[in-house]
């Protein structure tokens, strides 16, 4: 285990089993619909890459990169699009793929933004849900794991751009981020 990790919250095998299960559910629910999965960079890249390989139906993949204004570890809710989708999603069945929903501000911004582009349907698939931090009412449609209110990294999730490569979800030792404003 990495030295900065206090404990493993979800091990690699458990994540892979859950991603397989989510892939099977999406394959059933979207059969014949050729959905577009939108991976929100950067955190969701590992999850999305594993998820698409568990689909048994044709699907498209696109990417968005966004940045939230504000410093520290918390999202401000004000979002700027750094990279937009390559293609129009009008009339498409769209699934937003996110690594984590925390305050819910990022996902609610994305839902509003993408809804205005008139997709045929719009749903959300998140690996981790941290309901304790919610600032806006938001229930993701597909959820891998509900997690407690702890600072988690790994499997795409970072702290200061580190730890994304870890194959598990771990709780960061507090001394690593102590002194950082929230
Ligand atoms: C993380 C995560 C979500 C967002 C969730 O992204 O990938 O997009 O925060 O938080 P919220 O529910 O409080 O809005 P982050 O801004 O850390 O960027 P990254 O994906 O590039 O790591």
CATH number at residue 43: 3.40.50.2020
Q: Among residues of the chain, what percentage have pLDDT more than 70?
A: 93
Q: How many domains does the chain have?
A: 1
Q: Which of 41, 47, 68, 74 to mutate to test the pocket of ligand 1 (most atoms within 8 A of CB)?
A: 68
pLDDT given for residue 182 in this prediction: 47
Tell me if 158 is assigned to some domain.
Answer: no
Q: Which long-range contacts (CB under 8 A, 24 or more apart) does 41-46 make?
A: 41/65, 41/66, 41/83, 42/156, 42/158, 42/164, 43/98, 43/99, 43/100, 43/156, 43/157, 43/158, 43/164, 44/97, 44/98, 44/99, 44/127, 44/156, 45/156, 46/99, 46/155, 46/156, 46/164
Tell me if 179 is assigned to some domain.
Answer: no
Tell me if 169 is assigned to some domain.
Answer: no
Residue range of the domain that includes 127: 13-149
Which protein residue has the closest C-alpha to ligand 1 atom 6?
A: 43
pLDDT given for residue 2 in this prediction: 87
Tell me if 132 is assigned to some domain.
Answer: yes
Tell me if 128 is assigned to some domain.
Answer: yes
Tell me if 53 is assigned to some domain.
Answer: yes
Q: Which of 49, 74, 75 to mutate to test the pocket of ligand 1 (most atoms within 8 A of CB)?
A: 75
Q: How confident is the model at residue 18 (pLDDT cuts 50, 70, 90)?
A: very high
- In tens, the pLDDT along 85-144 reads 999 999 999 999 999 999 999 999 999 999 999 999 999 999 999 999 899 999 999 999
Tell me if 17 is assigned to some domain.
Answer: yes
Tell me if 173 is assigned to some domain.
Answer: no
């Amino acid at each position: 285990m990495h030295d900065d990790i206090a404990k493993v919250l979800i091990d690699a095998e458990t994540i892979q089993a859950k991603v397989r299960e989510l892939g099977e559910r999406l394959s059933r629910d979207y059969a014949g619909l050729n959905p577009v999965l939108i991976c929100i960079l950067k955190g969701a890249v590992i999850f999305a890459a594993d998820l698409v390989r568990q689909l048994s139906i044709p699907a498209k993949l696109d990417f968005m990169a966004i940045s939230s204004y504000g410093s520290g570890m918390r999202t401000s809710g004000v979002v700027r699009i750094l990279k937009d989708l390559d293609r129009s999603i009008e009339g498409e069945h769209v699934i937003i793929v996110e690594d984590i929903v925390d305050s819910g501000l990022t996902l609610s911004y994305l839902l509003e933004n993408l809804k205005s582009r008139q997709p045929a349907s719009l749903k959300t698939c998140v690996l981790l849900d941290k309901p304790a931090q919610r600032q806006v009412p938001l229930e993701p449609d597909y959820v891998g794991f509900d997690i407690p209110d702890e600072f988690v990294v790994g499997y795409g999730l970072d702290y200061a751009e580190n730890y994304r490569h870890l194959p598990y979800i771990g709780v960061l030792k507090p001394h690593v981020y102590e002194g950082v404003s929230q």
